[in-house]
Each structure stands twice: as structure tokens, then as C-alpha cells.
Chain A
Amino acid sequence: MIISNVTCTLTNEYEFAVAVVFTEDTTNEVVMTGETSVCVETEEEAIAYANDVFLPDLRANFTRKIGSLVLPWETSFDGGEQSA
């Protein structure tokens, strides 16, 4: 499974550089990296942008590399009863 690590760096008064590293959780091998810039006021907003927009877009565009990435706000379905 792929895991992500997001870091944000303030680059301007209202701009953060967002960097993400995707690694394989069993081997710690770096599978892919990404970086972007987002115009927000706080680091929390930058992280939220990364988790809500940047990472989902990357997962959709690079399904073969990071298709198994589970985002923080997603929950994996592990079976159990299903409603009728």
C-alpha cells in the first residue's frame, strides 16, 4: 500500500509550497513525488488543499503508481454486513 507524506513551507505572505512524497509502506521505497504552490494563509489550509485536491488528482492521474493510496479522510471497506 502507498502512503503519503505532505510537507508545507511558507514561501510568500499568502503562499505555501506543498511537497508530497509517496512511499511503499512495506519497503519504504519512494514511488513518486509531487510539488505545487497554493495561495492560502495558513499551513492548515495548505495541508487541507493537499489532502482534498492535490493528492486525489495525483492518484487519479497516476493510478498505476499510487492507485492504492488511501487518503486521510477515506476509510477502507473491510467487509462485514451490507444493508439490503
Chain B
Amino acid sequence: MADDIRNGKYYDATTGLWKDPVVVVGDKFAIKSAPVNGAKTVTTTAAEVFAGAARLSARYLMLIYNDGTTPIYRGGSGVTAATGFPIQPGDVAVLKFDPAVATPIYLIGTVSTSIRVEEWA
């Protein structure tokens, strides 16, 4: 018998059982608290980027705005201007995270560059 839905139940053809469908309640990526904002400086040394004094715990979103006049480059540890993914002046990088996995992001520039950062958790 093919998979079917009747009377609010889902028929699992593999097991032959009528099951309750999965119901998703809420959204872990919805706004639950105010964001953390910061104005930071990207230099010619690759360093971790975040909005506050340390990486925001359980963050699910980080926005990076290049407030300078030269590109900056993002990536993992050891990123360089030659290998990093560019964020052009005036552009915003939107990075989504798994809140359960603390993942550092690094930035580097060819000159000292001002950026704005916003983190959501």
C-alpha cells in the first residue's frame, strides 16, 4: 500500500503502521533576544570576528558589514587575503550557524579596515 494520509495520520508503507505526523513547533532561528552589535577593525593579521567581547554563545546568525574602502576576506583560521572569500566595501556577509556548534570565523584585510558586526542568538 502506498504512503497515505488519512484522518490526520500518516501511513508508513515500510512498517505498515499508521503514525502521527511530525509537527514542528517554533523556530530555533527566530528572534529570542536583542542582537549584539559592534564596530571592529580588520587588520593585516587574521583574527576571529564577533560583535562583542567574545564570540556570542549559541549564535545562529552573524552579519558582517564592510564599512571601509577596501575588500576584506573571510575564512577559517589562517585565512589570507589571497585565499579568503571577499567582502567588498559596502557589502554585507550573512553567515548562518548551528547554535549548538561554536564555529569561529576569521577576517583579514590588506589594510586596516572598519567593519560593523551583528550577532544573533
Residues of A within 8 A of B (CB): 12, 14-15, 32-40, 45, 49, 53-54, 56-58, 60-62
Contacts and interface: CB of A to CB of B under 8 A. Distances in A.
Given A15-B78, A34-B53, A40 B45 contact: yes
B41 interface: yes
Main secondary structure of the interface of B (DSSP, over half): loop
14 contacts: A15-B77, A15-B78, A33-B54, A37-B106, A38-B46, A39-B45, A39-B47, A39-B77, A39-B78, A53-B41, A53-B43, A53-B47, A56-B41, A62-B53
Nearest to A54: B47
Q: How large is the interface on B (under 10, 10 to 19, 20 to 34, 35 or more residues)?
A: 10 to 19
Contacts of B40: 57, 61
Contacts of A40: 45
Contacts, number: 54
Given A15-B77, A61-B38, A49 B53 contact: no
Interface string B40-56: 11010111101011100
A48 B106 CA distance: 18
Nearest to A49: B45
B104 interface: yes
Given A15-B78, A39-B78, 17 more contacts: A12-B77, A15-B77, A33-B54, A35-B53, A36-B48, A36-B50, A37-B104, A39-B106, A40-B45, A45-B45, A49-B47, A53-B41, A54-B47, A56-B41, A57-B38, A57-B39, A57-B40
A32 B53 contact: yes
Contacts of A35: 53-54
